[in-house]
């Protein structure tokens, strides 16, 4: 087995993360890692590094036999996939932060890792500074992971914090998230939940051995959350967070989605503000554990890449233990979600599809209902994210059939006969 003593790096991308890594490596001489070349798209931009370091020719990196590690931190998913696969075929280890690329090409990347036996590490791609992937892979190497709940998108958490604690408006908060280098170059990826869902796909693999495309997950972002929702959350003693969740159900299958959630003040996730991320794991004997750290930004993301580079020195590879060494779990559609839904007009919300409704407010402006929906309803229909309908999961919002049967009768009958 080859051990990389000296890491000679070819770096793709010199944006927020690439430049962060360049600076961090300068301050970490003990790692014995040097960047030999940086491939960039736009040669004309001025950059804070010697001009001789840069090239626009990817082959200067991919075909250089001296370069034994490719670090790829670009945001074009297709180009990133081509770089990563070529690098592995050319017998180079790869460190990547491209969550979209990893989510879109996960199955192919698994095959590529097995075929080339190269390390492909991506701790920076989810939770940035939080070492969640390696922990899921190594520490929770058993069948006892009851649930994972996480804030995995720094920009939306930053925007929610600024809007609801500091009264900034949405536009200002988003602008600030972009200026600080937290948001994607296409910020709809953050705001509409794609980025969090992309990250959740491979965290589900490392946690449960589940392989899913992002399109196979039920998700949305914070785009429809209104000031009225925030006021109601406050009234009820909640905060609103965009939460990625996974919970093992009684049949052994896993309920998973990424949706806004009302979070109680004693929930660890309510502690997660601004660009920070957090992951709460519940497992068999240890009960709850909470991982917390900066989830976006230059140095926090570079810190995870640095840790991957360090791991390459002892030839570390993900083993995908839950996938290859255990029986992988399956995703389930067979559960219910307790939700709050706010909307402008009754015609946009099929209240008759609710299993139960416990609260209905018919105010002249924003209306809302609190009740229970089957997860299949969310999976098969889009009404809950169209026409400014805002859906927010309640605390402990995942229910099974057995939980439903013990609920009190509700106002559903009244609603069914009501003229809407």
Are 339 and 373 in contact by the 8 Å Cβ rule? The answer is yes
Query: Among the options 199, 322, 367, 385, which is catalytic?
Result: 199
Q: How many other C-beta atoms lie within 10 A of the C-beta of residue 354? A: 23
190 touches ligand HSE by CB under 6 A: yes
Pairing of strands 254-264, 238-248: antiparallel
The H or E element spanning position 372 is: strand 367-374
Q: Which stretch binds ligand HSE (CB under 6 A): 50-58, 150-158, 220-228, 396-404?
A: 150-158
Per CB under 6 A, which region of 152-160, 223-231, 265-273, 326-334 contacts ligand HSE?
152-160
- Residue 296 beta carbon to ligand HSE: minimum distance, rounded to whole angstroms: 4
Whole-angstrom distance between the N-terminal and C-terminal Cα of the chain?
Answer: 70
The binder of ligand HSE chosen from 153, 220, 245, 298 (CB under 6 A): 153
* Binder among 155, 205, 261, 298 for ligand HSE (CB under 6 A): 155
Kindly identify the residues of this chain, within the stretch 284-313, that bind ligand HSE according to CB under 6 A: 295-296
What CA–CA distances, in Å, run from 97 to 17, 28, 118, 127, 301? 9, 20, 17, 10, 8
Angle between helices 106-116 and 77-89 (to 10 degrees): 10
Whichever of 160 and 391 has its CB closer to ligand HSE, that residue is 160
Q: Is 195 in the site for ligand HSE (CB under 6 A)?
A: yes
Tell me how far, at minimum, the Cβ of 85 lies from ligand HSE, in Å: 22
Q: Which residue has the tokens 């001489």?
A: 29
303 in Cβ contact with 329 (< 8 Å): no
Cβ proximity to ligand HSE, 210 vs 244, nearer residue: 244
* 89 C-beta neighbours (distance < 10 Å), count: 13
Q: Which residue number has the CB closest to ligand HSE?
A: 155
Among residues 154, 221, 278, 397, the one that binds ligand HSE under rule CB under 6 A: 154
| Biggest CA pair distance of the chain | 75
- Binding to ligand HSE by CB under 6 A, coded x per residue (else -) over 159-188, reads -----------------------xxx----
What mask of x and - would describe binding to ligand HSE in positions 121 to 140, judged by CB under 6 A?
-------x------------
If binding is defined by CB under 6 A, does position 267 make contact with ligand HSE? Answer: no
| Number of residues in contact with ligand HSE under rule CB under 6 A | 11
CA–CA distance from 398 to each of 374, 391, 404 (Å)? 10, 14, 11
* Shorter beta-carbon distance to ligand HSE: residue 18 or 295: 295
- Residue 331's alpha-carbon distances to 19, 246, 254, 342, in angstroms, are 38, 9, 5, 28
Residue 316: exposed, middle, or buried by beta-carbon count in 10 A (0-12, 13-18, 19+)? middle
- By CB under 6 A, the residues from 347 to 366 that bind ligand HSE are none
Q: Rounded to the nearest whole angstrom, what is the least distance from the CB of residue 71 to ligand HSE in the complex?
A: 15
Phi and psi at residue 151, to the nearest 5°:
-100, 115
Least Cβ distance, residue 186 to ligand HSE (angstroms): 10
User: Which of these, 174, 188, 72, lies nearest to 125 by C-alpha position?
Assistant: 72
Min separation Cβ 17 and ligand HSE, Å: 8
Q: How far is the CB of 156 from ligand HSE (least distance, A)?
A: 7
Judge whether 199 counts as a catalytic residue: yes
**Binding residues among 200-219 for ligand HSE as defined by CB under 6 A:** none
Which lies closer to ligand HSE via its Cβ, residue 15 or residue 328? 15
Q: Judge whether 273 and 160 are in contact, CB under 8 Å.
A: no
Q: What residues line the site for ligand HSE (CB under 6 A)?
A: 128, 153-155, 182-184, 190, 195, 295-296
The residues that are catalytic are 199
């Amino acid at each position: 087995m080859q051990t990389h003593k000296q890491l000679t790096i070819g770096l793709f991308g010199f944006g927020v993360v690439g430049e962060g890594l360049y600076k961090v490596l300068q301050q970490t001489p003990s790692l014995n890692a040097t960047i030999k070349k940086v491939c960039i798209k736009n040669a004309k931009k001025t950059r804070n590094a010697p001009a001789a370091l840069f090239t626009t020719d990817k082959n200067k990196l991919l075909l250089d036999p001296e370069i034994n590690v490719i670090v790829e931190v670009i945001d074009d998913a297709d180009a990133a996939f081509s770089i990563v696969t070529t690098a592995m075929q050319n017998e180079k280890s790869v460190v990547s932060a491209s969550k979209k690329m990893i989510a879109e090409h996960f199955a192919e990347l698994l095959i590529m890792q097995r075929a080339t036996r190269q390390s492909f590490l991506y701790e920076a791609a989810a939770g940035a500074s939080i070492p969640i992937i390696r922990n899921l892979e190594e520490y929770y190497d058993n069948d006892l992971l009851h649930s994972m709940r996480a804030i995995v998108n720094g920009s939306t958490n930053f925007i929610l914090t600024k809007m609801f604690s500091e009264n900034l408006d949405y536009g200002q908060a988003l602008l600030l998230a972009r200026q600080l280098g937290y948001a994607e170059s296409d910020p709809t990826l953050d705001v509409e939940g794609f980025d969090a869902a992309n990250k959740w796909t491979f965290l589900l693999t490392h946690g449960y051995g589940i392989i899913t495309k992002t399109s196979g997950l039920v998700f949305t972002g914070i785009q429809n959350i209104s000031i009225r929702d925030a006021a109601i959350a406050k009234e009820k003693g909640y905060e609103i967070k965009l939460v990625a969740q996974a919970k093992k159900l009684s049949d052994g299958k896993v309920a998973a989605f990424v949706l806004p959630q009302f979070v109680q003040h004693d929930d660890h996730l309510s502690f997660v503000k601004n660009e920070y991320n957090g992951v709460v794991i519940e497992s068999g004997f240890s009960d709850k554990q909470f991982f917390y750290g900066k989830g976006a930004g230059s140095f926090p993301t570079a810190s995870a890449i640095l840790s991957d580079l360090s791991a390459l020195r002892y030839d570390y590879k993900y083993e995908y233990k839950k996938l290859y060494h255990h029986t992988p779990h399956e995703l389930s559609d067979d559960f219910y979600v307790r939700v709050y839904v706010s909307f402008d007009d009754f015609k946009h919300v099929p209240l008759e599809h609710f299993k139960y409704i416990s609260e209905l407010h018919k105010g002249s402006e924003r209306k809302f209902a609190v009740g229970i929906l089957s997860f299949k309803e969310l999976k098969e229909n889009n009404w809950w994210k169209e026409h400014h309908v805002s859906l927010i999961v309640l605390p402990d919002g995942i229910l099974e059939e057995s939980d439903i049967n013990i609920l009190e009768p509700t106002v559903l009958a009244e609603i069914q006969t009501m003229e809407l």
